[in-house]
Structure 1
């Protein structure tokens, strides 16, 4: 549920005709959901895998690593809603030809499409990303909106508090072209 959003956002940071991508430094994938009376549900992980698969870049987030700050809530999210034993990761795929990288000292922001797979379902999603280039290092961030219903994920509900099905996922990391 929340992990899906983070994976979608993370997968938007590549460039056409790259031989490969090497992560540089910390990476973060996060999700944010809302409920009644100002209730917010947020979670994050620092585990993101980025792979160059020729014509596309693939971002994977192991859903079991998402943390909300409350162990019991994490366990419910993983076992009851995300079913990580059956669907261990969220995966975002973006074609290299859809990604633009800036020149040194410049920043690029754009929206493109990607394919998100969560909970055994694959859907086309909009991916909005920003990439800033500082020498050989690219600092990237992105976001992908998700609706849990699109992935047949039960809407989290606990003691009468129901999270809205629309979740925002974000990803940020630095990388170098290899």
Structure 2
């Protein structure tokens, strides 16, 4: 994923995100790969609609590490996945605005439709 393509909806916030936190000039891309996924065949065969575990491996700012506690679910052709990224694990400073620190983790929610 090209990090310069991230858009928060506010141009100044985009600039701060890219320059001050993600350092996109030095680290222009991030990647995510699936290292382990549980009960995928059951999910694909509609034998289970429960949330199952998977292990995504994230590369961000030159650091690669597995993300623990990630879940996914397939219902029909819709896939949803959720996981939490700890900013300090990737040496990203905790965002601050007017002296107020915002968060030290980002919750990621992904939803997409499978083709075919």
2:106 is matched with which residue?
Answer: 167
List runs of 5+ in structure 2 lacking aligned partners: none
Using the alignment, how far apart are the partners of 1:114 and 1:122 within structure 2?
10
Aligned residues: 113
Using the alignment, how far apart are the partners of 1:97 and 1:69 within structure 2?
33
Q: Which has the higher contact order (CA 8 A, sep 6+)?
A: 1
Give the ranges of 4+ consecutive aligned residues of structure 1 lying more than 3 Å apart after TM superposition.
Answer: 95-99
Using the alignment, how far apart are the partners of 1:168 and 1:88 within structure 2?
21
List runs of 5+ in structure 1 lacking aligned partners: 1-60
2:12 is matched with which residue?
Answer: 72
- Whether the 8 Å contact between 1:78 and 1:84 is mirrored in structure 2 is yes
Deviations 1:122-149 (A, max 9, x none): 111132111112xxxx211111101110
Deviation at 1:94?
A: 0.8
Structure 1 SS opposite 2:53: strand
Q: 1:97 to 1:165 in 2, by over 3 A?
A: closer
- Whether the 8 Å contact between 1:155 and 1:164 is mirrored in structure 2 is yes
Describe how 1:1-178 pairs up with structure 2 within 5 A.
Answer: 61-95=1-35, 98=38, 100=40, 101-104=43-46, 107-126=49-68, 127-133=70-76, 138-176=77-115
Q: 1:93 to 1:99 in 2, by over 3 A?
A: farther
TM-score, length of structure 2 as denominator length: 0.82
